[in-house]
Structure 1
Amino acid sequence: MDTLRYFKDLAKAQHREFRGSIASDSVGLQRVQHLVAVNAGYASWDALRGASSADRDLAVAMTLEPHLCINGFGAGSFDVPLEARRARFAGWRLELRGRATHVAEILKWLESNVERRKTINPDYGSYGLKHMAERHLGAYVANGEFIAAAIIAGYPYRRGEGTSPNATFGMSSRSLAVLRRGAA
């Protein structure tokens, strides 16, 4: 995916929305580009443009999925008050946002080892798959890192039901079985 094109198109679409509103005269395209960049985790549009492709890939995935964080989807359990959950979730989003290099490694491994399929495979969830990736990569893989890498790679996916942080993907059972046996 051309990530710069994605963010340019997003800014243009948002600018068109602003032009249709009452306050349209005061909001130019450059201002909207800046806001898009800030919302994606960058200090400015120039910072977004100068970022690595791996960093922009992760920024796109997180823009497409605003509930994606280091632990997967969502703010976790309801064991703390709402404001504490929001703060915790914001921290988890920042933590994932800082892991672009590791997500790129997981992405490379996925693309080299796991075939796509058109339909979602309900037999393998992100939490189990992240453990499979850990065994093959020799390093810890967070659930959110795995999900982000799969989204970037273009695997079809479905979020878990309810408050589940997990996801299932359109990944071939055959290639996953080979990985589980340790042949890859």
Structure 2
Amino acid sequence: MQEVGHQLLIYPFRYAKTKSDVRSARIPNETQLVKELFTFAPTPKHTQDPFDLDFGAPVTVAEPRGALATIPPDTQLILVPFACNASELLEAYWGIAALGINQQLEWTTDPEALHLPQAVTSYTSRPIIIPGQITAHTSFADGTEPTLTLSSRTASDRALHVPAQTEAEPVEDQTSEDDATH
């Protein structure tokens, strides 16, 4: 990826529900906010649809409003398109692109794949992917993260609407005041 300025603006968006070629990705909705974000992107090479015969219509450029208006104009927009479905994140990329005709992206850099974390698969009536848990040392309170055991409920528990157990039941004390020796 080419070197960019010091100020970056990151825009993640889902481009597909299945794995597909990210180079053919489109912005899902060209809202006013998206138009304002793309004022920080490169200028598109093609600004008019080849079948658009209205040669006199000027291309409208959105002016950033609100907090976007306070961002320096040399800020670079970094796109993070990802493919995911209801069960898992399939793939993710990052790169720089202009917003072309019909919400099509014109990549100025080759989109680079982002490495996804290892995942744990939980088998229920349909597979569910749970992103891997980080077990490395963290700086929070100079401790280490606990290791979590992930498991799914059995089909019979789900059918009987048995609530999921999130913590072990407390063990009741088996001694009483009468057991005390003097």
TM-score by length of 1: 0.21
Q: Which protein has the larger Cα radius of gyration, Structure 1 or Structure 2? A: 2
Greater strand content? 2
What's the TM-score, normalizing by structure 2? 0.21
